Amino acid sequence: MSDAAVIDVEGLTKTFGGRRVVDDFSIRVERGQIFGFLGPNGSGKTTTIRMLCGLLTPDGGRGTCLGHDIIRESALIKRQVGYMTQRFSLYEDLSIRENLDFIARVYEVPERQHAVGAALERLGLAKRSAQLAGQLSGGWKQRLALAACLLHNPRLLLLDEPTAGVDPNARREFWNRIHMLAAEGITVLVSTHYMDEAERCHRLAYIAYGKLLITGTAAEVIAHSNLTTWSVSGPDLFGLAAELRNVPAITMVVPFGSTLHVSGTDAPVLDAALDHFRARPGTLWIPAEPSLEDVFIRMMDEAPDNFNA
């Protein structure tokens, strides 16, 4: 393992209630990377992220985070990490400024008032500083939560589905800020269910039922899937989808708006199997690039469930 990486771990495992929720997880994250974690609910994403950064002790495995051992030096790691939970966790009956002042006290931030003022300005919260947190919309709560994460100048941010319930404009602004932070050298681990957000990450890891299935850039993940995809439009797509799902050469049929994405892992076999369907009047078949969503749906379908493991 290398000291140059912000995170470098091998063989992490964690068991709850007799079920192994993280199984032999290994990964390396470089400084300034935005690293996305994807996978179905209950796949172990949050547990993995917490272990990577010393917030949860693994049952097995080893590694470092920010140059510190994740088991023996977890207290040192926690002081350098900003953690933004999925659910808003600040005090709704305190104002924006009061919340930030409280967090600054907890972290014993030097020159606290100056740090709070700088955080308000940095996240565009200064004009709303007296507003109660409970009166904020989802997007403004998100800004406040991020400001609280950054108060103690962390070197690593953990974002657990940070844009859940936030409108598209606020999501875009949030991701612009995340890329600005990464450009400053802050490393970001983010879990998300949104494929457009996944594409904004420098690298991705897909976790299903505790197992790391693949890691790489979005382009590498798509290329590794070996999927060949066709987009089809025309009448009665619901009926057509039902027929296509019974064809052995077809791995996946997924509705995309007014089209279907039809995919397989053997291009020549898939092409031959579709000949009959392409001859139907009124249908239009166009070769398409498989999307991240295509790839991750296939991975989720093929991953073994560890519920009873």
The pLDDT of residue 308 is above 50: no
Pairing of strands 60-65, 7-16: antiparallel
Query: How far is CA 96 from each of CA 93, 140, 144, 154, 189, rounded to the nearest angstrom?
Result: 10, 10, 7, 20, 25
Average predicted confidence (pLDDT) for the chain: 89
Which pLDDT score, from 0 to 100, does residue 304 have? 60
Nearest to 265 by CA among 298, 218, 292: 298
The pLDDT of residue 245 is above 70: yes
The pLDDT of residue 45 is above 60: yes
Architecture of domain 226-289: 2-Layer Sandwich (3.30)
Domain 1-80+154-221: which CATH number of 3.90.1150.10, 3.40.50.300, 2.40.50.140, 3.30.565.10: 3.40.50.300
The pLDDT of residue 39 is above 90: no
Q: Which residue has the tokens 């009061």?
A: 98
Where in the chain are all domains bearing CATH 3.30.70.260?
Answer: 226-289
The pLDDT of residue 246 is above 90: yes
Query: What is the Cα–Cα distance from 25 to 43, expressed in whole angstroms?
Result: 12
> What number is the average pLDDT over the span 239-268?
93
List, in sequence order, every beta strand (DSSP E) within 200-290. 203-208, 211-216, 228-233, 252-256, 259-264, 284-288
> What number is the average pLDDT over the span 169-195?
91
Position 2 confidence tier, pLDDT thresholds 50, 70, 90:
very low
Query: What is the Cα–Cα distance from 241 to 283, expressed in whole angstroms?
Result: 12
Where in the chain are all domains bearing CATH 3.40.50.300?
Answer: 1-80+154-221
Query: How far is CA 61 from each of CA 51, 191, 197, rounded to the nearest angstrom?
Result: 10, 22, 30
The pLDDT of residue 111 is above 50: yes
Which pLDDT score, from 0 to 100, does residue 49 have? 85
The pLDDT of residue 264 is above 70: yes
Cβ–Cβ under 8 Å, residues 230 and 287: yes
Structure tokens at 304: 């073994």
